[in-house]
């Protein structure tokens, strides 16, 4: 039996019964789409359609459509790749790590955070594939497949190959974890539905019968998947950071990148969860389930991870000075005072200064302030990846090779495409799947003799 302190704010407000939880969440799936949902979905689909023009142009003409040059071979593409991978980090942390630590406040937000993870990883994976130029000819060479060319294998010493393994594993485990959590809720909708809807959700629920043994297996599988997913929270962005840390480029060649990238990923991931949850709770009228308490706790995580990121920025400068390597020192001075100074100071303002506003409870518990700052944080994290990648490449060891990067319409358009894809998928998920985990939310309702079981 769960015992909740009488002085602690309840995780679900409004005196909800089990029936209320089922009704409030299932009505979004069972009812007709609202005008606001249609407007949001059509906007996302429109952005997706516009972005697809740039994507098709890139696939047809090649990556010469982008603003890359012989000095800056990575720019917006890899910036966006790392940014989207970071966005997907909070879902696994909320689902797996907080589950293992028995943090009950995760129950209202884990479903949407897991969906966000899957959609963000799909968007991230697009960029390395597009970067191949003609992926339909050689994308499969990124995999260690048996072939008829003798001992022609991928380079297992390359962190780019490690990316393939890390991200595919992360996506697979996250997808299974997300779907397993959906099965009891699909069964609830199945039992309330009729006709074709009952058939569809019946197939999706895999014959769930709600028996004690079924619940026991569900709990066991959830814990096993949480145990498998927890190392991925640390490993995926660590391996992404190796793309840079294993090189000899000034500004990249540093051992601080793995913890720095992981903290930054959780930082940006929680910011995106906040952005989506604030919109979702308003549109679907879920204020009793996604409460100010949930928002405040996520803001506290942003304070902690934002402070870690700020310390990492300062440490980078200190190590560059302490190293005594002229090229390393120049790389960091150039970031702050060179042609891309505006990107560096945008990064510092958004990632280091703005999260500290959450120390003030009035700001930390303000919906409007939280929504604005969550957007600011993700803008800042995009600039962080841009600063790391572009400013380290555009002025390297040879002044004769120095160059500038200017994004083209195709760079911007492909980025728009991923935004359109992400939000189109998320809106479809929010309409046709239960956006809150009904089974787990019911487990945190305070005991009461007048609770009506559904």
pLDDT tens by residue, 415-427: 999 999 999 999 9
**Structure confidence at residue 226 (pLDDT):** 87
Assess if residue 141 is contained within a domain.
no
**Structure confidence at residue 2 (pLDDT):** 47
pLDDT band at 389 (very low <50, low <70, confident <90, very high): very high
**CATH code for the domain of 43:** 1.20.1630.10
Q: How many domains does the chain have?
A: 1
Check whether 453 has a pLDDT greater than 50: no
Assess if residue 325 is contained within a domain.
yes
Which residues are within 8 A (CB) of 381 and not within 5 positions of it... i.e. 6 or more apart?
Answer: 83, 86, 264, 267, 268, 271, 350, 351
**Structure confidence at residue 313 (pLDDT):** 92
**Structure confidence at residue 4 (pLDDT):** 54
Mean pLDDT of the chain: 87
pLDDT band at 377 (very low <50, low <70, confident <90, very high): very high
Assess if residue 365 is contained within a domain.
yes
Least confident of 269-278, 289-298, 365-374, 438-447: 438-447
Three-state SS letters, the chain: CCCCCCCCCCCCCCCCCHHHHHHHHHHHHHCCCCHHHHHHHHHHHHHHHHHHHHHHHHHHHCHHHCCCCCCCCCCHHHHHHHHHHHHCHHHHHHHHHHHHCCCHHHHHCHHHHHHHHHHHHHHHHHHHHHHCCCHHHHHHHHCCCCCCCCCCCCCCCCHHHHHHHHHHHHHHHHHHHHHHHHHHHHHHHHHHCCHHHHHHHHHHCCCCCCCHHHHHHHHHHHHHHHHHHHHHHHHHHHHHHHHHHCCCCCCCCCCCHHHHHHHHHHHHHHHHHHHHHHHHHHHCCCCCCCCHHHHHHHHHHHHHHHHHHHHHHHHHHHHHHHHCCHHHHHHHHHHHHCCCHHHHHHHHHHHHHHHHHHHCHHHHCCHHHHHHHHHHHHHHHHHHHHHHHHHHHHCCCCHHHCCCCCCCHHHHHHHHHHHHHHHHHHHHHHHHCCCCCHHHHHHCCCCCCCCCCC
Of 100 and 172, the structure prediction assigns the larger pLDDT to 172
Assess if residue 35 is contained within a domain.
yes
pLDDT band at 7 (very low <50, low <70, confident <90, very high): low
Nearest to 118 by CA among 217, 25, 229, 203: 229
At 217-243, the pLDDT tens digits run 988 998 898 888 888 888 888 999 999
Q: Domain span at residue 161?
A: 18-135+155-452
**Structure confidence at residue 450 (pLDDT):** 42
At 91-115, the pLDDT tens digits run 787 878 888 887 888 888 888 888 9
Assess if residue 148 is contained within a domain.
no
Structure tokens at 237: 């962005």
Assess if residue 285 is contained within a domain.
yes
Assess if residue 432 is contained within a domain.
yes
pTM for the full model? 0.90
**Structure confidence at residue 447 (pLDDT):** 42
Percent of the chain with pLDDT over 90: 39
Assess if residue 8 is contained within a domain.
no
**Structure confidence at residue 409 (pLDDT):** 94
């Amino acid at each position: 039996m769960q015992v909740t302190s009488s002085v602690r704010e309840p995780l679900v407000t409004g005196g909800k019964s089990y029936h209320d939880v089922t009704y409030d969440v299932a009505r979004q799936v069972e009812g007709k789409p609202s005008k606001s949902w249609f407007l949001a979905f059509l906007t996302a689909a429109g952005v997706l359609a516009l972005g697809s023009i740039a994507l098709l142009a890139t696939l047809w003409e090649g990556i010469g459509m982008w603003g890359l040059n012989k000095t800056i071979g990575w720019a917006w593409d890899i910036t966006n790749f790392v940014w989207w991978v970071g966005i997907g980090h909070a879902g696994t942390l909320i689902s797996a790590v907080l589950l293992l630590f028995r943090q009950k406040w995760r129950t209202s937000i884990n479903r949407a955070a897991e969906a966000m993870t899957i959609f963000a990883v799909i968007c991230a994976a697009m960029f390395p594939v597009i970067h191949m130029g003609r992926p339909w000819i050689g994308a499969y060479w990124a995999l260690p497949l048996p072939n008829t060319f003798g001992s022609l294998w991928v380079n297992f010493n390359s962190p780019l190959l490690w990316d393939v393994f890390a991200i595919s594993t992360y996506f697979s485990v996250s997808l299974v974890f997300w779907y397993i959590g959906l099965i009891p809720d699909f069964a609830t909708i199945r039992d309330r539905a009729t006709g074709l809807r009952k058939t569809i959700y019946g197939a999706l629920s895999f014959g769930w019968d709600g028996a004690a043994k079924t619940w026991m297996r569900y709990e066991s599988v959830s814990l096993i998947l949480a145990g498998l997913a927890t190392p991925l929270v640390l490993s995926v962005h660590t391996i992404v950071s190796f793309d840079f840390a294993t090189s000899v480029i000034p500004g990249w060649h540093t051992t601080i990148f793995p913890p720095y990238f992981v903290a930054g990923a959780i930082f940006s991931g929680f910011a995106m969860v906040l952005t989506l949850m604030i919109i979702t709770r308003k549109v679907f009228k879920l204020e009793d389930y996604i409460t100010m308490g949930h928002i405040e706790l996520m803001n506290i995580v942003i304070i902690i991870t934002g402070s870690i990121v700020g310390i990492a920025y300062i440490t980078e400068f200190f190590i560059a000075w302490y190293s005594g390597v002229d090229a390393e020192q120049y790389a960091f001075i150039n970031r702050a005072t060179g042609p891309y100074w505006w990107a560096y100071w945008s990064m510092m303002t958004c990632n280091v200064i703005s999260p500290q506003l959450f120390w003030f409870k009035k700001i930390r518990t303000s919906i409007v302030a939280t929504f604005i700052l969550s957007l600011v944080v993700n803008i800042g994290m995009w600039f962080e990846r841009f600063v790391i990648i572009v400013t380290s490449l555009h002025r390297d060891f040879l002044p004769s090779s120095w160059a500038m990067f200017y994004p083209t319409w195709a760079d911007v358009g492909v980025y728009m495409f991923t935004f359109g894809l992400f939000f189109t998928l998320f809106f479809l998920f929010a309409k046709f799947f239960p956006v809150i985990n009904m089974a787990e939310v019911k487990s945190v309702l305070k005991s009461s003799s007048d609770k009506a079981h559904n």
